[in-house]
Amino acid sequence: MSSRNLIIKSAIDVISEEGIQNYSLAKVAKKAGMTKAAIFYYFKNKEELTKSLINYTIDAYNEILMKEYEKRKNHSKIPFTEAYIAGNLRQLEDADLIGLHAALLASVITQDVDNEEWNSVYDEDYSRLASEIGPEKSDFVRYTIDGIWHSHILGIKQADTQKVVEALLDFVGEGK
Q: What pLDDT, on a 0 to 100 scale, did the predictor assign at position 136? A: 95
- How many CA within 13 A on the CB side of residue 102? 22
DSSP category for residue 112: S
pLDDT digits (tens, 9 = 90+) for 13-66: 888 788 777 889 999 999 999 999 999 999 999 989 988 888 888 888 899 999
User: What is the three-state SS of 32-76?
Assistant: HCCCHHHHHHHCCCHHHHHHHHHHHHHHHHHHHHHHHHHHHCCCC
Give the Cα separation of 146 and 133 in Å (integer). 18
Please determine, for residue 147, whether its predicted confidence score (pLDDT) is greater than 60: yes
Please determine, for residue 116, whether its predicted confidence score (pLDDT) is greater than 70: yes
- How many CA within 13 A on the CB side of residue 43? 23
Give the Cα separation of 154 and 145 in Å (integer). 14
Please determine, for residue 175, whether its predicted confidence score (pLDDT) is greater than 60: no
Give the Cα separation of 139 and 96 in Å (integer). 27
Closest CA to 169 of 26, 104, 72: 72
What is the amino acid identity at position 128? R
Q: What pLDDT, on a 0 to 100 scale, did the predictor assign at position 176? A: 44
Please determine, for residue 115, whether its predicted confidence score (pLDDT) is greater than 80: no
